[in-house]
């Protein structure tokens, strides 16, 4: 695993400012320049998402038209519900396309991968809104029960379940769809969050369809009409919980909240392995699904070249870009640490 990066030697380096001032000065930059495409995207997941959008959109149109022609509110409601998932899945597909389109756009300092994460965050917010809307409608129906036409409603629920199970199968995360490096890093929790958001959308729809089928069968056979809104509330709770998890994971990446990751300690241990170097400042953030960049400020009595410290990071999984700053620390300025008091 190669670690790209840049070094700054403040203890014994050359006067780079003086070099830059020389007219016509040309440096050998081989081995120092590189692109910032740390994650090439998940093309298989993008294609599957597009297929699911088509299947869901067709089902949505059929249900809305059939509901309007038959006067079935159950059909109309499920049709518009599927419409919200079409929007969420479209967001996921657009995120894949934009991330790929901008992958080599130098205006993105560390690549465009976070466009996919932004898509996941947007989908998670929409999922939460759907959950709250389902909860509100369920409470209304508990307070003001409505007559349920069980036969068409049950048919809609079964069709919706089949469509969503097929969609979930199409979006299922498989090892072959991932980047070859996925699964070898230290952190498997994030993976493809954009795909996960799309998967959770269809999975929640399948789950609510199962709850609806149970409630409708109980109402048809036992007359328990009250079970329909109760199951609606249960489904809403599950939807909101899943939404909260997606929002937490995606916002953590968007806000670069990674300093509690075990990787931070691994970087510190690797840099300080010679007993002389000490990490004065360290920043680690995610630039791909399982890829990280870091900035390290090193202080040492006998400082080495930045590349020497960068080499120590070669065995730290996931670090693909490192910027090393090296500072010499004269003995009079860095006295030996006093023995701890007892």
Split into its structural domains, the chain has a count of 2
What confidence score (pLDDT) does residue 298 get?
95
> Do residue 182 and residue 142 come from a single domain?
yes
What confidence score (pLDDT) does residue 224 get?
85
Does any domain span residue 142?
Answer: yes
Q: Residue 275: left if φ>0, alpha if ψ -120 to 50, beta else—which one?
A: left
- DSSP state for residue 313 in the 8-state scheme: G
Domain carrying residue 47: 43-254
| Cα separation, 132 vs 233, whole angstroms | 9
pLDDT lower than 70: segments of the chain: 1-42, 67, 70-77, 105, 109, 173-191, 330-342
| Cα separation, 320 vs 181, whole angstroms | 12
For residue 181, the domain's CATH number is 1.20.1510.10
What confidence score (pLDDT) does residue 30 get?
56
Closest CA to 194 of 262, 253, 241: 253
What confidence score (pLDDT) does residue 68 get?
73
Determine how many CB atoms are found less than 10 A away from the CB of residue 222. 9
Half-sphere exposure of 321 (CA within 13 A, CB side): 20
| Cα separation, 46 vs 103, whole angstroms | 15
Q: What Cα–Cα distance (Å) separates residue 125 from each residue in 243, 245, 248, 257, 302?
A: 7, 11, 11, 19, 52
What confidence score (pLDDT) does residue 146 get?
76
Closest CA to 148 of 61, 70, 229: 229
**Strand, helix or coil for residue 286:** strand
Given a contact cutoff of 8 angstroms between Cβ atoms, the answer to whether 215 and 231 are in contact is yes
> Do residue 193 and residue 319 come from a single domain?
no
Is 0.75 topped by the overall pTM?
no
Does any domain span residue 51?
Answer: yes
Domain end call among 254, 284, 303: 254
Half-sphere exposure of 11 (CA within 13 A, CB side): 19
Please report the beta strands in 184-314, taking only residues with DSSP state E, as ranges in sequence order: 278-288, 291-300
200 burial (CB, 10 Å; 0-12 / 13-18 / 19+) is buried
> Do residue 133 and residue 179 come from a single domain?
yes
């Amino acid at each position: 695993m190669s670690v790209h990066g840049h070094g700054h030697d403040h203890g014994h380096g050359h006067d780079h400012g003086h070099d830059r001032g020389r007219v016509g000065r040309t440096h050998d930059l081989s081995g120092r320049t590189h692109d910032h495409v740390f994650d090439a995207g998940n093309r298989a997941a993008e294609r599957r998402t597009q297929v699911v959008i088509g299947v869901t959109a067709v089902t949505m149109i059929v249900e809305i038209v059939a509901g309007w022609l038959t006067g079935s509110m159950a059909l109309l409601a499920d049709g518009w519900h599927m419409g919200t998932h079409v929007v969420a899945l479209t967001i996921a597909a657009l995120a894949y396309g934009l991330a790929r389109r901008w992958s080599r756009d130098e205006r993105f300092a560390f690549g465009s991968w976070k466009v996919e994460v932004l898509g996941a965050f947007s989908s998670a917010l929409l999922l939460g809104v759907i959950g709250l809307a389902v909860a509100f409608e369920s409470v209304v129906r508990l307070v003001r029960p409505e007559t349920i036409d069980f036969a068409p409603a049950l048919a809609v629920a079964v069709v919706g379940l089949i469509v969503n199970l097929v969609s979930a199968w199409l979006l299922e995360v498989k090892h072959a769809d991932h980047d070859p490096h996925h699964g070898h890093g230290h952190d498997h929790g994030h993976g493809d969050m954009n795909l996960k958001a799309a998967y959770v959308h269809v999975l929640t729809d399948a789950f609510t369809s199962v709850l609806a089928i149970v409630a409708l069968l109980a109402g048809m056979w036992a007359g328990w009409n009250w079970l329909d809104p109760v199951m609606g509330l249960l489904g809403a709770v599950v939807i909101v919980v899943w939404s909260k998890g997606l929002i937490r994971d995606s916002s953590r990446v968007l806000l670069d909240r990674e300093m509690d990751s075990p990787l931070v300690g691994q970087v510190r241990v690797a840099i300080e392995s010679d007993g002389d170097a000490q990490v004065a400042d360290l920043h680690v953030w995610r630039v791909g699904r399982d890829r990280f960049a870091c900035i390290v400020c090193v202080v040492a009595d006998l400082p080495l070249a930045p590349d020497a410290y960068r080499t120590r990071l070669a065995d730290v999984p996931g670090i693909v870009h490192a910027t090393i700053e090296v500072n010499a620390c004269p003995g009079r300025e860095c006295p030996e640490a006093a023995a701890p008091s007892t």
